Chain A
Amino acid sequence: KNEVEQSPQNLTAQEGEFITINCSYSVGISALHWLQQHPGGGIVSLFMLSSGKKKHGRLIATINIQEKHSSLHITASHPRDSAVYICAVRVQKLVFGQGTRLTINP
């Protein structure tokens, strides 16, 4: 059983669209990370959440601890947002979701 499930697995949208990526997890966690993996493979941390909501530029991340669910939103999406977005939960070690491949077309 996967401890971290992301949806959708793949998402293609037009530039300017509002994007939502979802993450559900099945275990108690101390924190949840949203990561961005570039086409070249490098990984960048976007957010670390333990409750509530965080915003950075056009990116917004929310978490509902009771429902064991988190969402990553991108407003006014741009082709440079194209990447794989990974949700990872901290249960002592970090457990990763399978990633959501986002493609934004101009």
Chain B
Amino acid sequence: EPEVTQTPSHQVTQMGQEVILRCVPISNHLYFYWYRQILGQKVEFLVSFYNNEISEKSEIFDDQFSVERPDGSNFTLKIRSTKLEDSAMYFCASIERGGTGELFFGEGSRLTVL
């Protein structure tokens, strides 16, 4: 069964470092999303991406985040100058072209900022 793949599964970084999280969405999917879940809190939307452009972003997105689809398959989330409070699970998700609207999530990337 096709799946969304995220790497790394866990990354530990020092405060102030840049981090890139990678996602390979399911191949015929067109809509891509990044979400974040700080430990003990609810999942929050970061950004949606369609047709190689950001279609919507959260209020916090521009402060520290950027997204790219560098090669037509990978979908990356870059976190600039990480802070302690960026420690969280980051989930990538996608929706297929012309489908039911069902979201397919990756397993998540756990980021720990020290």
Residues on B with C-beta less than 8 A from A95 are 45
- The answer to whether the Cβ of A27 comes within 8 Å of any Cβ in the partner chain is no
- The answer to whether the Cβ of B63 comes within 8 Å of any Cβ in the partner chain is no
Residues on A with C-beta less than 8 A from B107 are 40-42
Q: Which of B15-23, B66-74, B76-84, B97-105 contacts A (4 or more CB under 8 A)?
A: B97-105
Inter-subunit contact B44/A96 (CB<8 Å): yes
- The answer to whether the Cβ of A88 comes within 8 Å of any Cβ in the partner chain is yes
- The answer to whether the Cβ of A48 comes within 8 Å of any Cβ in the partner chain is yes
Q: How many residues of B contact A (CB 8 A)?
A: 23
Instruction: Bits for A35-66, please: 1 = Cβ < 8 Å to B, else 0.
Output: 10000111111001000000000000000000
- Cα–Cα distance between A85 and B5 once the two chains are bound (Å): 22
Residues on B with C-beta less than 8 A from A13 are none
B10 to chain A, nearest CB (A): 10
Main DSSP-derived SS at the B contact region: strand
Chain A residue at smallest Cβ distance from B41: A98
Which residues of B approach A to under 8 Å, CB–CB? 33, 35, 37, 41-45, 48, 56, 58, 89, 91, 93, 100-105, 107-108, 110
27 A-B residue pairs with Cβ-Cβ distance under 8 Å, sorted by A, are A33-B103, A35-B103, A41-B37, A41-B110, A42-B105, A42-B108, A43-B91, A43-B93, A43-B108, A44-B105, A45-B103, A45-B105, A48-B101, A48-B103, A86-B42, A86-B43, A88-B43, A90-B101, A93-B45, A94-B45, A95-B45, A96-B42, A96-B45, A97-B42, A98-B41, A98-B42, A99-B42
Shortest beta-carbon contacts, A-B, top 10: A43-B105, A96-B43, A93-B45, A98-B42, A42-B107, A96-B42, A45-B103, A48-B102, A48-B101, A45-B102
- 19 extra A-B contacts, CB within 8 A, seeds A41-B110, A96-B43: A31-B101, A35-B103, A40-B107, A42-B107, A42-B108, A43-B105, A45-B103, A45-B104, A45-B105, A88-B43, A90-B101, A93-B45, A93-B48, A94-B35, A95-B45, A96-B44, A96-B45, A98-B41, A98-B42
